[in-house]
Structure 1
Amino acid sequence: MATRPPWLWPWLWLCLAGLLSLRVARALPLLPDPRDSVLAAALQRLREVFDIEELPPDVLPRKKPPQFMVDLFNKVADANGITRAPGLLQGDVVRSFEDRVHVDHHHFYFDISAMEKSEQMLKAEFRVFKLKRTHRSRRSYTQHFCKVEVYELLESENKPQKKHLIASRLLSLHTEGWEVFNVTQTVSKWVENSSSNHGFWITATHVSKNGMEHDVVTFAKSHGTLQESRNALLVLFTNSNKRRSHSLVPFAAKSETDEYDASRVSHGTAVMESSSASMSRRPRAAAAAAARSPLAACHRRELYVDFHAIGWSKWIIHPNGYNAYYCRGSCIFPLGGSLNATNHATVQSIVYTLKLSQDVSMPCCVPDELKSLNLLYFDDKLNSVLKNYKDMVATSCGCH
């Protein structure tokens, strides 16, 4: 029997060790990256702040929001979503639902199931675009107005004779434009009992000495992109009735005496550009010396929230992001007039500086004025929603 050459043994041992390490590696489960859990927790807290229960699908069809909703956003907010006309809206949520019936020019149906049960109905508007009349009968030359009536259908669309009159008005035969009908009571009933929602039925007639003429005008229906901007809408103004006590930054706030290092949430999605604490406490004397610098005094700093970076840009229509700002700096005596310090904060800073009590810390640098933020977005059923969030942007800072 032939013997193996001596140089072969080390090579065999290396192969055997490699095979054993490969089998062990396959047997051991992959350990989760701790950064993944931190990122998931941060994004979950952010969803809670924005009161979003279900995220829309990752891939949305090419869809334009109703022009009415875009115009409403531009009226109440600037390009960054910051409220510039407080009190203009009724409530803090505006939901728009588009007509789901594309054939019958009399019937309009809106699926309002996306409205949350906790929301308080304030107002409902049925918005429909009346088209200019193109074909005129001999009698209509002498007529200038028609009577438009809006009904609630009491049964399915196959039985339009069972209906209840909601509103009626006289309209010009020879003009076109949006008509808005208040349908608050009817829609409130639908919210309480979704099975009673069979939609609206609308008619247009005029009466002359020669008799009654029906369908003297028509209302726009969505038949492609050309008339999509004229598609009928049901617009609901509601109050969310939810207290938002969460902080926008999904991390614990640190005191002014902590050392800060600039960092971002990594792993491919930078949630926001801000400062995170390293938890290394400096001595009180060093903090007092640093506080005398104008740069270290309590002041406002930028905190930009980028919706593209966190993967929300596909369903948020406006804005692309916004600057929330945050407050940073020390509030040690003497507190200048620019620090907006309260009397209590002034006394506290004196006690802290004179070391009259070892348990007293410096006053905190916090926002003393906040503005609300507005988002226009698609919900998980592709309805356009305009929502106002209170206390989202720090406009000034002070010592408290």
Structure 2
Amino acid sequence: MATRPPCLWLWLWLWLCLAGLLSLRAANALPLRPDPRDEVLAAALQRLREVFDIEELPPDVLPRKKPPQFMVDLFNKVADANGITRAPGLLQGDVVRSFEDRVHVDQHRFYFDISAMEKGEQMLKAEFRVFKLKRTRRSKRSEVQHICRVEVYELLECENKPQKKHLIASRLLSVYGEGWEVFNVTQTVSKWVGNSSSNHGFWIRTTRVSKNGMEDDVVTFAKSQGAFQESRNALLILFTNSNKRRSHSFVPSAAKSETSRAKSEASRVSRDTGVMESSSASMSRRPRAAAAAAARGSSTACHRRELYVDFHAIGWSGWIIHPSGYNAFYCRGSCIFPMGESLNATNHATVQSIVYTLKLSQDVSMPCCVPDELKSLNLLYFDDKQNVVLKNYKDMVATRCGCH
């Protein structure tokens, strides 16, 4: 009896299994290595986020939401086009947060979600800003007064028709006037910061005395209902301190360690009172060498150079409103004796440069060229809840260099 030949499909299946095992083994034997440049980039961006006190990057705001005009005007007041602080003290605190009204139907109620405030952030002042619309229909002067009273209440409970409320501000206004009205609500908002469940918003009531008695709702305040009124939407503005006083300068860590080492070395030299005296002969023998070194150093002396930080290049342009980037500057150059007044050299740096230039000690290095004066930077940006924030960052721009 003839034997049956093996099935062709069985052989094909076994061959595919073997090929798969061999390819898997080869893949395990030669794993893909991560690109070290990617790790460096990730570490650099993480460090940059720490400098700007950003825990998580906000999502790109697309399409771009229009920021409140008040925040744009405030940025232009405290900073130039590059975000550099015009003058210290113009901004109360180092953070200004704006929150837009979340109630779009009820004309009396205004609610602001302030949960974006960071832990430990100290509130200094809170302003409730609401735009009073112009009244178009006029009544006869003999029938009605043209002055009304506006009262701002804190809502103590959240219902469709809230009854429990607490008066926190009031004033008299012209019925036919138009513009922004600003109420100080610091005490109320401070309570909300400490207990978020107590935040039920504000309630506005307007009244005036007429011939027929008390008349309600005589004026209207803008609500975010359409593009025209979007720029007039009610705002809650918080002026705060972040309580983060770390100085983030653009001085390289290597320069800091070099400065520390130079100070210790110069201190050792200064303790040895005989160094300068015993080296007087060496000084007289090397005047030409010192002059030549000074001539070479004058062309490369310590000075400020440009260092532009482009927020688009690092992927932050989607949520940063102003500026698009800024020039941080950096310091580079030699600090060889003699150093002119423009180098802002300390006495210690002058002594160290002499010892270095005349080779009086082989262990002493040249003084470091580092930022001698720094200014703060202001950013206007969207947070992760699309609130607009103005924040001031200390020691971000080198405005002057010196030898230290």
Normalising by structure 2, report the TM-score: 0.82
1:325 partnered with 2:329:
yes
Q: 1:290 to 1:57 in 2, by over 3 A?
A: farther
1:297 to 296, 301, 306: 301
Partner of 1:356: 360
Partner amino acid for 1:318? H
Bigger-Rg structure (1/2) = 2
User: Which structure 2 segments of 5+ residues have no match?
Assistant: 1-17, 260-288
Within 5 Å, give how 1:1-400 maps onto structure 2.
24-25=26-27, 28-58=30-60, 60-136=62-138, 142-248=144-250, 252-253=254-255, 289=293, 292-400=296-404
Cα root mean square deviation, aligned: 2.6
Q: How many angstroms apart in 2 are the aligned matches of 1:246 and 1:29?
A: 40
Distance 2:114 2:345 in 1: 48
Give the 3 Å change call, closer, same or farther, for CA 76–235 of structure 1 in structure 2: same
Higher normalized strand content (fraction of residues): 1
Instruction: Report Cα offsets for 1:300-324 as digits up to 9, x if no partner.
Output: 0000000000000000000000000
In 2, the alpha carbon distance for the partners of 1:216 and 1:180 equals 19
Contact 2:146–2:176 (Cα < 8 Å) also in 1: yes
Residue identity in the other structure for 1:365:
C
Matches of 2:139 and 2:328, distance apart in 1: 61
CA offsets per residue over residues 202-225 of structure 1, 9 Å max, x none? 011011342000000010000121
> How many Å apart are 1:395 and its aligned residue?
0.7
Change (3 A) 1:60 1:157: farther
**1:155-179 residue CA offsets vs partner (Å, 9 max, x unmatched):** 0043421000010000011110000
Distance 1:129 1:42 in 2: 44
The 2-side partners of 1:370 and 1:245 are apart by: 10
CA distance in 1, matches of 2:295, 2:98: 51
Separation in 2, partners of 1:141, 1:295:
84
Q: Secondary structure at the match of 2:301?
A: coil
Asked whether the equivalents of residues 205 and 216 of structure 1 are also in contact (C-alpha less than 8 Å), the reply is yes
1:137, distance to aligned residue in structure 2 (A): 5.0
Q: AA paired with 2:176?
A: H
**Match for 1:373: what amino acid?**
L
SS at match of 1:202: strand
Per-residue deviation, residues 367-393 of structure 1 (Å, max 9, x unmatched): 111111100000000000000111111
Do the aligned partners of 2:143 and 2:210 also contact (CA within 8 Å) in 1? no
What displacement does 1:140 show? 8.3
Question: 2: distance between equivalents of 1:25 and 1:247?
Answer: 46
Deviation, structure 1 residue 340: 1.1
**8 Å Cα contact 1:256-1:329 kept in structure 2:** no
Any unmatched runs of 5+ in structure 1?
1-15, 258-284
Deviation at 1:68, TM superposition (A): 0.4
Q: How far off its partner does 1:335 sit? A: 0.9
CA–CA separation in structure 2 for the residues paired with 1:293 and 1:315: 44
Distance (Å, rounded) in 2 between the aligned partners of 1:151 and 1:341: 60
TM-score by length of 1: 0.83
Alignment CA distance shift 1:31-1:253 (3 Å): farther
Deviations 1:84-136 (A, max 9, x none): 13211100000000000000010000000001121111000000000011234
Report the residue type matching 2:209 in the other structure: V
Shift of 1:34: 0.3
Q: Secondary structure at the match of 2:72?
A: helix
Q: Distance in 2 between matches of 1:380 and 1:169?
A: 36
Counterpart AA for 2:58: P
The one-letter code sitting in structure 2 at the alignment partner of 1:112 is I
